[in-house]
Structure 1
Amino acid sequence: MGGSWLGRGVDWDWVDSVNGFWSVLLLASCALGAFVVRFINPINCLSNQNKEYGEGVCFTSEDKLFVEGMNPDWHKLVSYHLWVPLILLGQALCFKIPGAIWSASRGVFSININETVACLEKVQLAKEEVRQSTLRDTAVVYSSILRSNRFIQGVFYIFVKGLSLVNLVGQFVFLTVYFSPVLSFKPRPPDIFTSVNPFLSRSVRCRYTVPRLQNTIILETECRLQINEIYEKMFVFLWFWVLFLAVLTSINLLVWLAYLFLPFFRNSRISVHVAAFTGCHPKDPAISRFISSFLGLDGVLMLTLISRNSSEVVAAGLAHSLFRVFREQDQGFCVQGGLSGPSPNHPGGVSLTASPGATSSVPASSTIVYSEGIPMTTLSPCTDTRPEKPLLQENGENGH
């Protein structure tokens, strides 16, 4: 169910969960670890004079460390390790922003799927009358919402996934340019400075002053930033993690574009759900018209996410209830090869009353049958083989 401790809501798929929850948790843990290791022997200087004082000053100052041969304007880059915990927190925030934007849109101009599924799951074990009534009420409310908006939520969902992909590409470029983790696989002496990756230099020199009576002594010593070895391995892992997620999110975005905009992918699951309840063929034109003109992008998105994250039964029940509302509003439904004759509600129409115990299986001719109390135009083989009750009984009358 949505909102679980795994950080996956009903209106997310698992790739959104990896980007918006697990990656945030990973980077926040890295930031915490980067802060903790600062207190575990982060630097080791060779000087024997005021060693502890020198190491403390060299590690915490931005202008004491330098690499021999480095441009003096770049000296502060050697102390970049001081900002690593904040950099990791900033990366975690960038992963969180797309999911936060999507969550903030719930109930504003989109359907709150989490609340809907929570309500429908509670009534799954209730009495049949209560369950059908809840599904019916939900379908009526959703049909009203979908009537005024059939595409905004779907387009916005694609936009949020695009934001996640932009974030991943930006973070990949950032890690590649500024931390160059690939260089860590190339053999190089640790004391040689490279202008490509000055941020994680390991062998550095420190120039600091020591007070002596009324004078100060300038000392210079060679130090090894052991903390940068840990940071370098951390950023190597993050580089591969971001690369993996960028590829995964790109594929996921293409799949969702296909689900929302290509009829073959868009209709497959929903048409099977509707056909399971109605007896229609999944490729019936009425079902295709129901998906394209009634549900739209928003309805397809809603039912797809519910079937993936909650239950196929809940998604199929809601799809069937929505289809029943669609049948009430549409004059041509459940047809195979064209529309049938005029409706009995129109002038010239012929009313056909079902007898007790009769079924709706009819010859392949223009016929009016009653299914669940709703007049339904049908042509064989799209038939509903469930036993039907007389219309008066379905409306609660005693038939006398």
Structure 2
Amino acid sequence: MPRRTATLLTSALLLITMFCVGALINVPYAEMSPGPTVNTLGEHDGDPVLNVKDKPGRDGRPEEYDTSGHLNMTTVRVTGAEYRMTLFGALSGWVRHDSLVVPHETLYPDDKSAKEVDQENAEEFTASQESAKAAALKELNVPVSTHVLVGSVEKGAPAHKRLHAGDVITAVDGTPVGRPESVGKLVTQHKPGEKVTFTVIPAAKAKAAQKKGKKPSSKDAEKITVGTRKAADDGRAVVGIQPAVGHTFPFDVDIKLADIGGPSAGLMFALGIVDKLTPTDLTGGKFVAGTGTIDDTGKVGEIGGIQMKTVGARNKGAEYFLTPAGNCATAAKDKPDGLTLVKTSSMDDALSSLKKIRSGKTDELTQCKAH
């Protein structure tokens, strides 16, 4: 066999072998890509994303103003927990602009099942809605009362099946509590194995009162005694709950958006609520998208997958993207053409930027820069 032919044959066999290896060998990575982006001012699956109920206007009906433009929340699509990426798949994802390859454990930690991850994301999404409502109404000087509730209960913990997510905690061992951190301090005064008595208003009764715009009533309170166990990290007494802040709103703001998880839509929900409850058209008809967590005070926090969210927003037509300050440098390194990244640290920042956008003073916007 001529040397040239032998060389070509060897090279072809080597390429075939490499192709087979790349196509068959799995690597411990997962993939993130742009997910759906939804206008919080519009509809999703035939229903309004934001629906203000029972807010009395001048004529006695709920007062909700017309809006225009877009205030789009953005998402990231991720591969499932059981997905096994090939070497070729990883290499392809690393070179693509609209894909981000990350270690599998980043999305699905080894100490959590896929079901637990999904549940955690769902709880964060629910909590983000509550914070968005609180931040928006406080911005509008609408009174919002707060209380402490059970945010989540660890499966198999002493509190499991005794306390439930949504239960309002009014006292621990008879001592009233007004902040989530107070619950932990009172529990840890016990030794592991001792019992703690919680005074709670069951979730169902609390929700029924809140739907009427009323505070959960102490007359519905029950005393529940729960055991404690030793915490794995420092040996303190714990019952296995995560306390959280709950709110009572004077009217109902219904957020309908299925199959979405995580806390990153908080900012855009809050802005959408403000837009619907004020005569000012916040966007002036412009297409604005964004992301960011939000707390009760209106502080905006950074999120994951920012590059995929900016790509998804621009693909849908967004001109401006409200970007958490903590994500600015990363987002600016790979900014889609035609998209202005607006640095946002708070609700006030976002509202100020929207005023500049609708008035055409975009040269005054604080834009993200790559360091």
Which TM-score tier does this pair reach, normalised by the shorter chain?
A: under 0.3
Structure with greater Cα Rg: 1
Bigger share in helix: 1
TM-score normalized by structure 2? Answer: 0.27
Bigger share in strand: 2
TM-score normalized by structure 1? Answer: 0.25
Q: Which has the higher contact order (CA 8 A, sep 6+)?
A: 2
